[in-house]
A and B are shown apart, each in its own frame.
Chain A
């Protein structure tokens, strides 16, 4: 349907930046000598290629015109040898460079992914999955293109150009300069066309991405489209503006794209005419501005002209690729440079097996980029095995408190202790392996049910996995799946209902045998049977563990050992359900309005 403006494109061009170039080169350092060998091979094969017209000239002048078969044979054999060298050189260069380029890219991708594993979770709130994928896949791809092809191609183009110019000048300097007169025109044309082409490319990209998003929206919403009988209206919009815009963008790009080769061909053929005219007269020994030249040289000249324009065209393309690589590099390094907020201290110790006592000592928290206090001087002491229900409005600070317990964030002031250990002094791995987290929207990985449960403890046997599933009441529905425990749950667990996903995430948490459990209860409408099973599973899960529950269900709240009411980052009330109701304070009001019809 109508979208006010086509989506904007991110900037994807950038001029030379020494810092970025330096850092790209740093990734290339381990492969330096291989790059060097490739460069040599490149020079060998491109000079062999550049020699071809010269051999033609030698063959005509020294062999054919001079009627010398011996000499002709020699020339042909040398030509054959250079052709073979060129082929082998290319083969080995591609072989080496392919591996170098790809290895560098593998290294960059791996360090990006590694960095992603350590970034704080809040980073992903601002940085969408789509953007991460763009960085790791597309931007790195642009860089790959540049490293594997463009970098050496630039060297080749420059070398070829120099060689051709040298050969032409050596044969006849004046005719060469006459030919070069066309160069400024050619470069000007190229620059103008490039600029136009780039603009058009952007327009075409944004046109097609508008088509894409329009399709995505309408296909995803096709049921609503049909329910409101909007098919004809939407089609007219697509045909007359979205798709039409794409057509127009493509046509105006076509005008430019079709024009450039024409302009270059025109200039090239014109220079051939000039060479034939002036060169021909010179061959005949007539009065000519260019002195003398042989027939063979003339032919070689004409052959060189063809090859002369190609590196120029190519270089202008490489310049684009270079600019894109700069822009991609900048974004990749920006991601790699994002500081890691939560890190193991250098002298961090392994947290021994804990009993599950949790203490908040005067904890204050605010995000590093925002001075608003999310939590203010929280003091909370939880005994091993106690179930604490956290209650409060959205944004009151409940989630921040549980994030502190699993050390997804560090307190700005004060400290969080588990069994008396300050969390900042222990390794994250040893802490989290004793901690279970169940989220409101249970996240499953695309894999089998078995794999998803085993995620809780990788070394668990199949039997242990099944036991865990049984304990939380997930065994029955998993056994009924088409392939039982081996059934793939689909991307994000899409093929299961929310309730079923929740049960699998319970089993996963149970299998991890955590001492401290953090639970963000789901509120989604789940059918009656599943609801009963989940209630039972919860009881089973909470038994004998310290638990923090962000509670939405009345039953959980009522049965909690302690209810902690949070408002504006502070604990305003705590006690059992009965105590708090009797008190008639915030909790009383919250639940009176919450459940009143």
Chain B
């Protein structure tokens, strides 16, 4: 309950709707209680008392109630749906906004699927409970209070007898409600396992076939399928027990009323109408009591949902603009790392250690090192995607932690190896960092990024929606759009990864050309894979296990005969060597003679 209380602030803006819904609910309960009373009077006064006038009157009253019973509950139901929908809307907005402000470190350790399920499933559970559960609970309590007091005042001893079966019924349904969540969870898990089996089997179809493991896969699927069968049977068994026993208990109530009440009627203690009313009241109460099972379950889900969503909302975004943040004017592009230490999380290995680096405006810095040496960690500190553990990162002399985040990040352009585009038009994608950019600006950026030509050839041009049925872009095309996207921001500082694996030669050239334009006149940090990039860099930084081990130009570092030279020999030289090999070949007279022959 304490947990659910956290939802009260979400209900507050809608207190009027809540109030009206409650009023409607009370009227509605009152109306539903009227009918058995009227029917009792019809029997006792109208029929037994032989009053035709009373019958007419009662029929009219019932008709009046019919109208009210259509209007009032409608208002109540609509209002509770309305409240539910608005709470869901607000909560989802809050989550969306919050998730987008949580730092990289948070997203590194959380799964996207989980976060999405928080925003969809958990919000839905909360929405359902606050919208319907709360009102239903209120209805049941109110109804129970009304009916029990009504029956007890009417005839106390018969009331207790008639209410007797409600006790085991309450127990059975609440018990069912408390457990049914667990049973459904088991079903969900089993279903999840089946999905995973299929997912793997289909994604790895070629491997399964190649190793002739179909029978083995079939066995594993059968196991998962059997698990689901068992889980479902479990749920059904619980249903199979709960449904007939509660139905029987409802009948038991009527039977008790007939047995004991019948004797009272025969003794003249009770009228027939009263007895019928007793039975009707009991039936009115038994339906909501059976509903309790679902309410208890819904409450359980809502509590779990509250737990999980507030876990997100309670996470304080560590990285945000400080109060009195320095709003950065156009940067010159000077970047300094002062004795920077960095680890992703306390207890993790140190990602960067005592990094000391001064970069002048418009310099090109190439970062080289093995996977995990700290290249990406280093560049991520500049736009303050992460905060340093010790030391400081300064841009134009301003510590990034004291700068206004948007003013900092808007001046830093980033092009990564895998270019993430959004399913929007190409124009919107290029204008991602500057949503108000004109089409002319977008085209100019695309031209500079060598993307204009292929975009123009698309049937819908700049209006082509990326990644939808219509058109899938190749890796090279995506990368050029990402370059255009960065260009449009006209950043002062640029961070890029020049790896262009899996594109053909022609595209590679275009990308290279686009990158050249992009790097011009900006401070650039490039995670380098290509010899040409490394050669033209003003400074090459060689990283190893989070430390800068070598620093200098290509020639200087080659001469040092250290790690750079090793990497050069292993990775970069292939590119150069082949070039030389071809050169030599072209000069070899015997080869030339052979070639002349083959041409003839």
Contact of A295 among B43, B120, B232, B244 (CB under 8 A): B43
**CB closest residue in chain B, given A118:** B214
Q: Name the A residues within 8 Å of B39 (CB-CB).
A: 276, 299, 302
B217 within 8 A of A: yes
**CB closest residue in chain B, given A271:** B66
Hey, what's the 0/1 contact readout for B494-536 against A, CB within 8 Å counting as 1? 0000010110110000000000000000000000010110000
| Minimum CB–CB distance for A258 against chain B, Å | 4
Given contacts A65-B272, A227-B383, A273-B66, contact A221 B422 (CB under 8 A): yes
Interface contact B244-A88, CB-CB below 8 Å: yes
Q: Name the A residues within 8 Å of B574 (CB-CB).
A: 554, 595
Which of B4-12, B71-79, B172-180 touches A? Answer: B71-79
Q: Name the B residues within 8 Å of A247 (CB-CB).
A: 85-86, 88-89
Q: Name the A residues within 8 Å of B465 (CB-CB).
A: 3-4
Q: Name the A residues within 8 Å of B100 (CB-CB).
A: 218, 222, 225-226, 231, 234-235
Interface contact A52-B251, CB-CB below 8 Å: yes
Which of B156-164, B258-266, B338-346 touches A? Answer: B258-266
Within A387-411, which residues are at the interface with B (CB < 8 Å)?
393-394, 406, 408
A531 within 8 A of B: yes
Q: Name the A residues within 8 Å of B567 (CB-CB).
A: 528
A173 within 8 A of B: no
Given contacts A118-B214, A133-B199, A262-B74, contact A276 B570 (CB under 8 A): no
Contact of A1 among B199, B385, B422, B599 (CB under 8 A): B422
Interface contact A91-B73, CB-CB below 8 Å: no
| Minimum CB–CB distance for B318 against chain A, Å | 13
Hey, what's the 0/1 contact readout for B234-248 against A, CB within 8 Å counting as 1? 001101110111011
Given contacts A114-B218, A443-B207, contact A246 B62 (CB under 8 A): no
The A interface, classified by DSSP as helix, strand, loop or mixed, is helix
User: In the complex, A408 Cα to B99 Cα: how many Å?
Assistant: 45
A188 within 8 A of B: no
* 6 tightest Cβ-Cβ pairs between the two chains A and B: A254-B81, A94-B240, A98-B236, A277-B59, A269-B66, A258-B77
A-B contact pairs, 15 of them (CB 8 A): A2-B424, A3-B465, A56-B279, A76-B258, A113-B201, A133-B198, A220-B420, A228-B433, A228-B485, A229-B406, A269-B35, A269-B65, A276-B59, A280-B59, A518-B210
| Minimum CB–CB distance for A410 against chain B, Å | 14
| Minimum CB–CB distance for A400 against chain B, Å | 14
User: In the complex, A583 Cα to B596 Cα: how many Å?
Assistant: 9
Interface contact B55-A277, CB-CB below 8 Å: yes
Interface contact A581-B370, CB-CB below 8 Å: no
Given contacts A64-B272, A581-B591, A591-B578, 4 further A-B contacts (CB under 8 A): A45-B244, A106-B229, A526-B371, A584-B594
Hey, what's the 0/1 contact readout for A231-246 against B, CB within 8 Å counting as 1? 1011100110001101
Interface contact A270-B66, CB-CB below 8 Å: yes
Interface contact B78-A226, CB-CB below 8 Å: no
Given contacts A221-B422, A258-B74, contact A229 B116 (CB under 8 A): no
Interface contact A98-B237, CB-CB below 8 Å: yes
B322 within 8 A of A: no
Interface contact B385-A227, CB-CB below 8 Å: yes
User: In the complex, A443 Cα to B574 Cα: how many Å?
Assistant: 28
**CB closest residue in chain B, given A127:** B202
Q: Name the B residues within 8 Å of A177 (CB-CB).
A: none
Interface contact A528-B66, CB-CB below 8 Å: no
| Minimum CB–CB distance for A134 against chain B, Å | 10
**CB closest residue in chain B, given A88:** B244
Contact of B104 among A121, A223, A458, A596 (CB under 8 A): A223
Q: Name the A residues within 8 Å of B372 (CB-CB).
A: 527
Q: Name the B residues within 8 Å of A408 (CB-CB).
A: 206, 209
| Minimum CB–CB distance for B208 against chain A, Å | 7
Interface contact A276-B214, CB-CB below 8 Å: no
Interface contact B433-A229, CB-CB below 8 Å: yes
Interface contact A87-B247, CB-CB below 8 Å: yes
Interface contact B428-A433, CB-CB below 8 Å: no
| Minimum CB–CB distance for B532 against chain A, Å | 5
| Minimum CB–CB distance for B82 against chain A, Å | 6
User: In the complex, A371 Cα to B581 Cα: how many Å?
Assistant: 42
Q: Name the A residues within 8 Å of B211 (CB-CB).
A: 432-433, 437, 455-456, 508, 512
Given contacts A129-B203, A295-B272, contact A87 B245 (CB under 8 A): yes
Within B25-64, which residues are at the interface with A (CB < 8 Å)?
35, 39, 42-43, 46-48, 50, 52, 55-56, 58-60, 62-63
Interface contact B58-A554, CB-CB below 8 Å: no
Interface contact A524-B501, CB-CB below 8 Å: yes
| Minimum CB–CB distance for A276 against chain B, Å | 5
A592 within 8 A of B: yes
Hey, what's the 0/1 contact readout for B391-435 against A, CB within 8 Å counting as 1? 000000000000001100110101001001011110010001101
**CB closest residue in chain A, given B204:** A443
Q: Name the A residues within 8 Å of B55 (CB-CB).
A: 276-277, 280-281, 284
**CB closest residue in chain A, given B252:** A83
Hey, what's the 0/1 contact readout for A89-124 against B, CB within 8 Å counting as 1? 111001100110011011001100110111001001
Given contacts A2-B428, A554-B578, contact A76 B194 (CB under 8 A): no
Interface contact A79-B251, CB-CB below 8 Å: yes
B152 within 8 A of A: no
Interface contact B96-A3, CB-CB below 8 Å: no
**CB closest residue in chain A, given B36:** A302
A510 within 8 A of B: no
Q: Name the A residues within 8 Å of B52 (CB-CB).
A: 280-281, 284, 286
The B interface, classified by DSSP as helix, strand, loop or mixed, is helix
Interface contact B210-A276, CB-CB below 8 Å: no
User: In the complex, A235 Cα to B98 Cα: how many Å?
Assistant: 10
**CB closest residue in chain B, given A270:** B66
B3 within 8 A of A: no
Q: Name the B residues within 8 Å of A532 (CB-CB).
A: 570
Q: Name the B residues within 8 Å of A234 (CB-CB).
A: 100
User: In the complex, A52 Cα to B279 Cα: how many Å?
Assistant: 12
User: In the complex, A89 Cα to B244 Cα: how many Å?
Assistant: 8
Interface contact A211-B120, CB-CB below 8 Å: yes
Hey, what's the 0/1 contact readout for A208-226 against B, CB within 8 Å counting as 1? 1001110111111111111
Q: Name the A residues within 8 Å of B77 (CB-CB).
A: 254, 257-258, 261-262
User: In the complex, A280 Cα to B211 Cα: how many Å?
Assistant: 81
| Minimum CB–CB distance for A114 against chain B, Å | 6
| Minimum CB–CB distance for B392 against chain A, Å | 21
Q: Name the A residues within 8 Å of B241 (CB-CB).
A: 91
| Minimum CB–CB distance for B480 against chain A, Å | 16
Hey, what's the 0/1 contact readout for B336-373 against A, CB within 8 Å counting as 1? 00000000000000000000000000000000001110
| Minimum CB–CB distance for A41 against chain B, Å | 11
Q: Name the B residues within 8 Å of A339 (CB-CB).
A: none
Which of B219-227, B302-310, B442-450, B546-554 touches A? Answer: B219-227
Interface contact B579-A266, CB-CB below 8 Å: no
Interface contact B116-A216, CB-CB below 8 Å: yes
Q: Name the B residues within 8 Å of A446 (CB-CB).
A: 196, 200
Interface contact B112-A216, CB-CB below 8 Å: yes
Given contacts A228-B433, A274-B59, A525-B501, contact A87 B200 (CB under 8 A): no
Interface contact A243-B578, CB-CB below 8 Å: no
Contact of B598 among A225, A437, A583 (CB under 8 A): A583
Interface contact A117-B203, CB-CB below 8 Å: no
Q: Name the B residues within 8 Å of A221 (CB-CB).
A: 420, 422
Centre residue among B67, B225, B383, B571 by max chain A CB count within 10 A: B225
Interface contact B89-A243, CB-CB below 8 Å: yes
User: In the complex, A274 Cα to B370 Cα: how many Å?
Assistant: 87
**CB closest residue in chain A, given B485:** A228
Interface contact B225-A86, CB-CB below 8 Å: no
B145 within 8 A of A: no
Interface contact B272-A60, CB-CB below 8 Å: yes
Interface contact A239-B93, CB-CB below 8 Å: yes
Given contacts A129-B198, A280-B47, contact A64 B275 (CB under 8 A): yes
Contact of A266 among B67, B194, B532 (CB under 8 A): B67
Q: Name the A residues within 8 Å of B266 (CB-CB).
A: 64, 67, 69, 72
**CB closest residue in chain B, given A492:** B203
